[in-house]
Each structure stands twice: as structure tokens, then as C-alpha cells.
Amino acid sequence: MSETASVRARILQFNPLVGDIAGNAERIIAELDAARAAGVDLLVLPELALCGYPPEDLLLRPEFMQRVEAALEHIRPATQGLALVLGYPRAALGGLFNVAGVWRDGERLVEYAKQVLPNYSVFDEKRYFQPGAQAVLFEHRGLRIGLSVCEDIWHEEPGRQAAEAGARLLVNLNASPFHAGKAAEREALLERRAREQGLSILYANLVGGQDELVFDGASFAVDAGGSVVARAPSFEEYGLDLEITASAQPSAVHARDAERVHPESDASIYAALVLGVRDYVRKNGFSGAVLGLSGGVDSALTLAVAVDALGPERVEAVLMPSRYTASMSIEDAEEQARRLGVRAHLVPIEPAFRSFLDLLEPLFEGAAPDVTEENLQARCRGVLLMAISNKRGHLLLTTGNKSEMAVGYATLYGDMAGGFAPIKDVPKLLVYRLARYRNSLGEAVIPERVLSRAPSAELRPDQTDQDSLPPYETLDAILRRYVEQDEGIEAIVAQGFEEAVVRRVARLVDRSEYKRRQAPPGVRISERAFGRDRRYPITSGF
């Protein structure tokens, strides 16, 4: 190519709605028009941007693929005057492929089929797709450009094929979900790949919430020397503009070169929770959210996330004290609602609880009070909250954390009742850190007493969580090893934990699988969340 030639590229962090193929296509056409008006001649969208990721078993419906083809035909004329690199599913040669297609001046130039199909963690692409087998290049303004899709970049062969075929630039389309530390992993990997293969790389990632997954964007460009030359911000739609010179070295011309957030930072985790809640409410058509506000730290953090996601006018808090609720719990909950500007309703559950006790008295005659009465209080609250959810069209947010969900310290059809669980993947100690992080952003919206009191379900006199569970410092450490790292009991004990405590925690985790199967989805922020990640049998003799 000429030494004076250059490509003006835009990496578009796109937030699609899974299955809304026609709607996504209209937005892509609008982005093509905007890119053309800005002088962009190469627009790059992420993996499966046309249909959203993951489409799961929608891919098995013939009508789904017909809509994909119709949308591509609709988009085709809008590519006059520039090139579009777009991810979509493609039925061809008797199979289904995850492809990166290139369209320019109304014509389809090439299609590259993803070669490495992930089938671990939250991914099950081998259920749907067949792998591609070879490099595909196209030439644009004299520059030879190779294509790859997501998992391909984590393996040497696809990029090596592109380099050997003569590519000077590699475009990598991604639907890479967030977990703490992922952004740094991606950048370190691509820096190494660029140096190994002598290629500049454009990394385009989806953004947005999709059920349990959150895609953080954080798209970036790496030059052939392995240096990151531009980054897009995380957790928002954004067009990262770059000028790619004759030597295929990208340089930012309109990039917000955001400072790298520490990969384990509370800021990134909190942002993921906010985006996950916002998109679940928005994409599923709820008018707002409602939750039970107890005066404890879990519901306090959940309320703060909900307000930051939706605005205070779209969030309702319901205080439902029982005969065992401390006055300070009501005071702290009311104060947090006031600081956040949220409507708060005080609905004591004593009348409902008393009615249930009266109804059950003949059946329970002679039986001493136990956890049954504790759970009954939680279920009174669940009924009230679900009624408000139905009447208002609000999504009911549950407030349980990962530590509780792991060991079953939650009530089916009580505090587990709801449609979405924002902090389902957040261990208890991290709940406290995130609450303090939120308070550090300005006004302390969570009262300090909420953060300093011993946690309690307040379902019996003078109750604390540590009456039923090990200290959270111990519990979270054991759970991290047993749940997230799949370590056995003996291995955990060998690291200095008391054997009886480890065995008890492991037994609680195993026995609570049936509860977790009935829990609502929640935002995934770790490498091993309950739900799509961790799939264990309910009935097991292991």
C-alpha cells in the first residue's frame, strides 16, 4: 500500500438486545450513517452484534436465521462508502458458524468462521456452531486485514495463520463477559500476541447486561510492538476512533484514552452491578424496581445499586419490620431512603405473621417454635413485595449475597422471592467493601451504623448471622476455595482451616443446591458464579 494511505477506523462498543435482530439492524444502520458522516471508512462491531450474545437456543429456530439473513440484506445498502466488519451467525454448507463478515459498498466481501469454540464456564458454543478452519483476509484502502473472533485470540494458530497469509492488521470481534480482573488479562494477552505475530490488533467487545452476564466493553487497540495505543471506557456504549497508517500501526485520533482501572477494583465491580441491573430492567420492559429495605448492609448496597442504575424516581423501598426488628434498623433504613431520595413505605408484617400463626396453630400444637416461624416471617415479606411488584410493574430485586446463597442462609419463597438478584455473586466481605466504595463517591448514602453493626436476619430475639455461620472472614475464604476453585475438604484443611468447620460449610453448600436452582438470576462478577458457571447435581452421593 502507499506510504501515505491510511484507514480511519471506529471500534463500536455495541449494546444489542438478544433476539431483536431487526431492532439491532436499525441501530447498526444509524451507526453506519454516523460513521460515514465522521469520515470513518472502517466500522468494526463486536461478535454476534447483529443478534446479541449469547443467543442460546434461539439459534435452533429456523425463523431466527431467516431474520438474520433479512437483516443483513437490509444493512447491505447502508455500507456504501465504507467497510463494515460485523459479527453474526451464518448457516452455510450444512452447518452453523459464528462469523465475522465484511461488507463494503453494498457487497459482502468475505466471511470468516470462528475457529476455536469455547465450551467451558458460561460458554457452550459447541452446542450450536461448527468451527472454521482457515484464515480469511480482505484488503481495504491497500491494507491487508485479517479477521478473528473472540476465543481465537487466546490461541496462537488463528493469528499465526493470518500473519502468514500477509495480514498487517488483525481485527478481533468479541463477546467477552466481565469478571474481576478480566480487562487486564485481555490486554496482557493481546500485547503478547501482537509481539509474537508482528500484527497490530483491534479488539472490539460488546457492552451491556444480558441475564446473568455483563459485557464491559473496554475495547482497545494494540500496535505491532505490543503497546496499547488507545482504550475505550468500560461499561458504556462508545465509538473508539483510530487512524491506521500505512505500516498498520494504529494511533488514536479521537479516543478517550481512559486510565486503566485496577483490574480487581471495587469501582469496576460496582459499575458491573449497576449496568447489570439497568439493562435487565430496561431490556425486559419493567417500569422500575422494588426491594425490601431491612436496615442491613445487603439491602443497603442493593438499594444504592438500583438507584444508580435507574434513578431514585424509579425505585421503591419497603420497610417490613417484625416483632424482632430493632428500632435502629428502621431508623437506618429510613435514613438511607431519605439520602437517596427514594420512596419508602413502612409495612409492619405483624398482622400477617399473626394470622398465619393462628391458622397453623392446630397443625403445630405441641411443637416448639423453630426455624419454621423464622421462615414464615420472610415469606410474609415475600408475599407483600411480590404484590407490589405485580401492581406497579416493578421488578422485585432480591438482596441475598453469595455467601448466603452458597450455604443456603436464605428462605425459599421468602427473601429469595423476586426477579433479579443484583449481589448474588458478591461475597459478604465484598458487600461491605462495595458499600464503603459507594459512600466514598460523595455523600455517604449508606449510614455508618449499617456498616458497623453485626449482621442479623432479625427473625428471633438477639439473633446474629454468626449464631448460624462461621465468621464471614472464615466462611468467605472457605467458600472461595470450595465453590470457586473446586478444592476438596482435605486440601482446604491443609491450608490451616479447622476440619469440622470446613466439613460443615461443604455440607451446607452441597445441601443447598436445590435452593439455588430456584433462585433468580443475578449479575456475574467472579470467574465462578452460581448459575451458568457452576452446574452441580441436586441429587448426589458424591
Residues tagged active-site: 47, 114, 150
For residue 11, give every residue at least 6 positions away whose Cβ sits within 8 Å of its Cβ, in sequence order, or none: 44, 202, 203, 204, 219, 221, 232, 239, 240, 242
What is the spatial distance between Cα 478 and Cα 499, in angstroms, rounded to a whole number?
A: 11
DSSP sequence for 446-461:
S-HHHHHSPP---SST
Largest CA distance in the chain: 92
For residue 5, give every residue at least 6 positions away whose Cβ sits within 8 Å of its Cβ, in sequence order, or none: 141, 142, 143, 246
What is the spatial distance between Cα 122 and Cα 128, in angstroms, rounded to a whole number?
A: 14
Helix (H) or strand (E) holding 84: strand 83-92
Provide long-range contacts, Cβ within 8 A and 24+ apart, for 352-357: 352/380, 352/383, 352/384, 353/322, 353/323, 353/377, 353/380, 356/380
Cα distances (angstroms) measured from residue 259 to each of 231, 241, 275: 8, 17, 20
The answer to whether the CB of 356 falls within 8 A of the CB of 380 is: yes
Whether cis (ω within 30° of 0) applies to the bond prior to 62 is no
What is the spatial distance between Cα 127 and Cα 113, in angstroms, rounded to a whole number?
A: 16
Which three cell numbers mark 37?
Answer: 458522516
